[in-house]
Amino acid sequence: MHKMFEKKNLLTIPNILSVIRIFMIVVIVWLYCFKQNYYAAIAVLLLSGATDIADGFIARKFNMVSDFGKMWQLFRVLNYLLTGFFYFYKAKFYK
């Protein structure tokens, strides 16, 4: 097994925060699109940003930077970009 997928490299606080952020994307889309609760969607987005800052700080401060975390960061950024484009698409065409 590659060292990136060893248990000690996966179960770190920064990686757990990263996984939680992926689920936050689903919550943001649900709040925005299906509940039309824009303020709650913004609140979850801000909370997600705060966990991203905490994730990076903890990973660097406590030497928890992992290859998995680096790879996962790219995936999260892509998801946020796609979600943002979806918001703009929905706002422009469905008003």
3-state SS, residue 75: helix
Is residue 69 within 8 A of residue 59, CB to CB? The reply is: yes
Largest Cα–Cα distance of the chain, in whole Å?
50
Q: Which of the four pLDDT bands, split at 50, 70 and 90, describes residue 54?
A: very high
Q: Can you give the pLDDT at residue 57? A: 94
Q: Which residues contact 64 (CB under 8 A, 6 or more apart)?
A: 12, 13, 14, 58
Q: Which of the four pLDDT bands, split at 50, 70 and 90, describes residue 7?
A: low
Report which secondary-structure segment, H or E, holds 13: helix 13-29
Q: What are the pLDDT digits (tens) for 9-52?
A: 678 899 899 889 889 988 988 998 889 888 898 899 889 889 98
